[in-house]
Amino acid sequence: MSTMSIFQIAGSALAAQSQRMNVTASNLANADSVSDPRGHPYRARQVVFQMMPVSGAGQAAPIGGVRTAGVLESAAPPRLQYDPFHPLANAAGYVAMPNVDVVAQTVDLISASRSYQANVEVINTAKSLMVRTLSIGQ
Amino acid sequence: MIDRLGQEFGFYQTALGLRQQRQEVLASNIANADTPRYKARDFDFSSALREALGGPKGLPSVALTLTSSRHIPAAAASAGQVDWLYRQPLQPSLDGNTVDMNVERVQFADNTVRYQAGLSLISQRMKIMMAALQQ
């Protein structure tokens, strides 16, 4: 239980936020992927965060970092696009496109990068405080 | 003589320890700004310092002695000296998270400055003690 646990907390948040950015990048890249390896249209993914209590802290102390509890697939219905000459079009002439909401994904990406920056700031502050603590009495 | 020196620095040590603990909980709030159903925590520094200086409070942590493999391990953790509180959210959010990033960042900066002030006070105190010792 020392300044080290701040690095542990903010570091776990950096890892979690960068995983969120990875998933968003995957969603944006596959916004037009009509077919995945299973033959279905791509489904948008979303990470779910969970609090992770810091090891070493007492049971009473409610502090902790973040971990990703899982990556869920969106249950939203696929976007249907009318394109009768497309090889994957159904009998009515519609193609099932991925259910990726590009605007929402972009907003999520901005939110993740802001959170990442805030945690980098926390690490820098904790680092400078630690350096000053080590030079007490000099 | 040496125990007098310890008393001299005990106050600053306790204060810096609590500042450190507050820094940790604020870092935890900032890290969990996007965690669903996370409730932001904090504690009142002045009352925590008063309690910490008032001597040991509550019972120490205890655990049962196990003499058989069929005993159930049980432990009672001490509540510690800090009274953990929940932050009142100014604006509710849909996912049940009560972290307000602006509040947390301001509190974090404030706590940083006060921690540095504590460090400066310790350094000053040490200089005074050294001057007295060298007389």
pLDDT tens for each residue of B82-135: 788 899 988 888 999 999 999 999 999 999 999 999 999 999 988 988 898 898
Tracing tokens 């968003």 back to the chain, one arrives at A24
User: A10 CA to chain B: closest CA distance, Å?
Assistant: 6
- Least Cα distance to A12 among A60, A57, A50 occurs for A50
Total of domains in chain B: 1
pLDDT tier at B56, thresholds 50, 70, 90: low
* Residue with more model confidence, B75 or A22: A22
Which letter does DSSP use for residue A89 in this model? -
Residue B72 is inside which H or E element, if any? none
Q: What is the CA radius of gyration of chain A?
A: 22
Q: What average pLDDT score do residues A5-21 get?
A: 94
- Cβ neighbours, 10 Å, residue A105: 18
Mean pLDDT (chain A, rounded): 89
pLDDT surpassing 50 at residue A1: no
Contact pairs from chain A to chain B, CB under 8 Å: 99
Separation of alpha carbons A66 and A21, rounded Å = 15
Q: What average pLDDT score do residues B45-51 get?
A: 88
User: A100 CA to chain B: closest CA distance, Å?
Assistant: 21
CB B104, CB B30: distance < 8 Å: yes
* Maximum Cα interatomic distance, chain B, rounded to a whole number of Å: 66
Strands (E) across chain B are located at 41-42, 62-63, 75-76, 85-86
pLDDT surpassing 60 at residue A52: yes
User: A8 CA to chain B: closest CA distance, Å?
Assistant: 10
The amino acid present at A43, given as its one-letter code, is R
pLDDT at site B110? 96
> Does A70 touch chain B if contact means CB atoms closer than 8 Å?
no
Domain of B9, in residue numbers: 2-133
pLDDT at site B69? 87
Contacts of B119 in chain A (CB under 8 A): 132-133, 136
Residue B51 is inside which H or E element, if any? helix B45-53
